[in-house]
Amino acid sequence: MALKRLDNVGIVVDDLAGTIDFFRELGLELEGRATIEGEWAGRVTGLTDQRVEIAMMCTPDGHSRIELSRFLKPPVVADHRNAPVNALGYLRIMFAVDDIDETLGRLRKRGAQLVGDVVRYQDSYRLCYIRGPEGLLIGLAQELN
C-alpha cells in the first residue's frame, strides 16, 4: 500500500482565535472549528482525559492543512515556542507566496517578526523565516522564475 498524501500538520497554541486570524492573513482558509473530547480521542493521543478546541486551516489550493489545537484539559506540559531553528524536533512550516515583501508587510501588522534576512537562493527563490503568533517559526518562499 502506498502513501496517499500528507493530511495535516498539527500545532498546539494558546491563543486559538489570534492564530486563526494570523493564518487567514497569510491566505489560509478556516475549514472548521470543533471541540474534541471523549474516550476515543484519549485513545488516539494517549491523554486519557482530554478536551481540545481545534481549528482546521486549509491552503488555497486545497491540498495542505494545519490543525491548530488549544488544550483545555490536560494543561500544556512543554513550551517550544522560543527554541532556536536548530533545536531537535522543532517544527518549521514553509509556505510558497507570490510576493515576500507584500506578505511580510501584511503579517508584520499581525506581529510577525523577521528572524534573519530575506535572502536570495541562486536564481530560484527569495526566502525568509518569520516568528508568527506565539513565536511559531514560519518560512516564506517566493519562486523567482
The pTM of the full predicted model, rounded to 2 decimals, is 0.88
Does residue 58 register a pLDDT over 80?
yes
Taking the C-alpha atoms of residue 73 and residue 136, their distance in angstroms, rounded to an integer, is: 22
CATH number of 9-73: 3.10.180.10
Taking the C-alpha atoms of residue 87 and residue 137, their distance in angstroms, rounded to an integer, is: 12
**Which carries the bigger pLDDT value, residue 138 or residue 49?**
138
First CA to last CA across the chain, in angstroms?
36
pLDDT in the model for residue 90:
67
37-55 pLDDT per residue, tens: 888 887 888 888 889 999 9
- The domain made up of 93-143 has a fold known as 2,3-Dihydroxybiphenyl 1,2-Dioxygenase; domain 1 (3.10.180)
